[in-house]
Structure 1
Amino acid sequence: MFVLGAGGQGFNGGDIAFQLLMFLLLMFLLRKYAFGPLMGVMKQREEHIANEIEQAEKHHQEAKKLAEEQRELMKKSRQEAQALIEEARKLGEEQKEQIIQAARAEAERLKEVAKQEIAQEKEQAMAALRQQVASLSVLIASKVIEKELSEQDQAKLISEYIQEVGERR
């Protein structure tokens, strides 16, 4: 026989075969009862983590989309507010112009009324003056009839007439 070791033991092929058989049986049992379920659990865990990552990514995308929508809404709100402010400013300007035009029209109307009143009063004053002139003319004529006047008397009569008219005013 062939000796391999220094202890004198020889090559025992049966022990090696038995140990190999036991090792293969142990591997089969571990694979069936330990590694299989362990791999299943690991596979489920991997799928769960992948799903969680996918869900987180979806939520992140939705959050980005909502944030963008919020930005757009804020932008639109600012634009609408600016448009309302601009419209109110224009309306204020229009009302200001209308008020100014109404005030000008009223001032013009009052001016015309005042002109008409002045013209009426002037006409009344002229009528009163004509009446006074007529009265004085009649008075002068009656005095002239009473006596014939010289040039000096006429000048005196006219100056008296003018003085009398001035006193009546």
Structure 2
Amino acid sequence: MIQFNASLIYTIINLVIFYLLLKKFLFKPVMGIMEKREKMIADGLQNATDTQNEAKQLKADYEKALSGAKEQSSQIVDKAHAEAKKEYNRILSEANEKAGIMLENAKKTIEVERQQTMNTLQSEIAGLAMQAAKKIVDEKTENQGNKGIYDQFLEGVGEAHGNTDID
């Protein structure tokens, strides 16, 4: 069997003291370092997870902002097209209106010039007719009956043109 002698007791006491010393000076500091290291690793993993989640959130926000920007740019382009079309139609209608006014003015001017030309031609024709009548009457001035007709003709022609002084 086992004999208990003093050396065994000293060995057991030495082992217990050695265990307590190791526990105090080795196991506790090593366990503290291990716990700190474990905590640091856990914090690092937590920070990495938080950073990854934040990055995912930022990515989602940027994608949402990008799609919003695309929609907004599309709306801006559509609005610009609509405004350009509206401006085009306004300018076109103004041009058509001005062209219509110019055409109407040109027609009026042509009518006035035509009327003036007709008046001028009538005056010239009347003058030529009067000269022809005067020549005819001068040849037959001997006959007093013809002179009365001549004077009556000249009066009628003069009144038609507002010119009563005929020589």
Same fold (TM over 0.5): yes
Tell me if 1:21 matches 2:13.
yes
Tell me if 1:52 matches 2:44.
yes
Tell me if 1:89 matches 2:81.
yes
- 1:1-169 superposed matches below 5 A: 11-14=2-5, 15-139=7-131, 141-142=133-134, 143=136, 146=140
Comparing 14-23 with 77-86, which one deviates more in the overlay? 14-23
TM-score of the pair, normalised by structure 2: 0.69
User: Identity over aligned residues, as a percent?
Assistant: 24
Instruction: Report the CA distance between 1:57 and its aligned residue.
Output: 1.4
Counterparts of 1:65 and 1:31 in 2: how far apart (Å)?
A: 47
5+ unaligned residues in a row in structure 1: which ranges? Answer: 5-10, 149-169
CA RMSD of aligned residues (A): 2.6
TM-score of the pair, normalised by structure 1: 0.68
Relative contact order (alpha carbons < 8 A, sep ≥ 6): 1 or 2 greater? Answer: 2
The one-letter amino acid paired with 2:118 is M
Deviations 1:69-99 (CA, angstroms, capped at 9, x unpaired)? 2222222222222222222222221222122
The one-letter amino acid paired with 1:132 is E
Aligned length: 139
Counterparts of 2:107 and 2:53 in 1: how far apart (Å)?
A: 80
The one-letter amino acid paired with 1:58 is D
Instruction: Report the CA distance between 1:103 and its aligned residue.
Output: 1.8
State the secondary structure of the residue aligned to 1:13: coil
Deviations 1:5-63 (CA, angstroms, capped at 9, x unpaired)? xxxxxx42225444433333322222222111111111111111111111111111221
5+ unaligned residues in a row in structure 2: which ranges? Answer: 146-167
Counterparts of 2:37 and 2:120 in 1: how far apart (Å)?
A: 121
Counterparts of 2:130 and 2:17 in 1: how far apart (Å)?
A: 164
Instruction: Report the CA distance between 1:136 and its aligned residue.
Output: 4.4
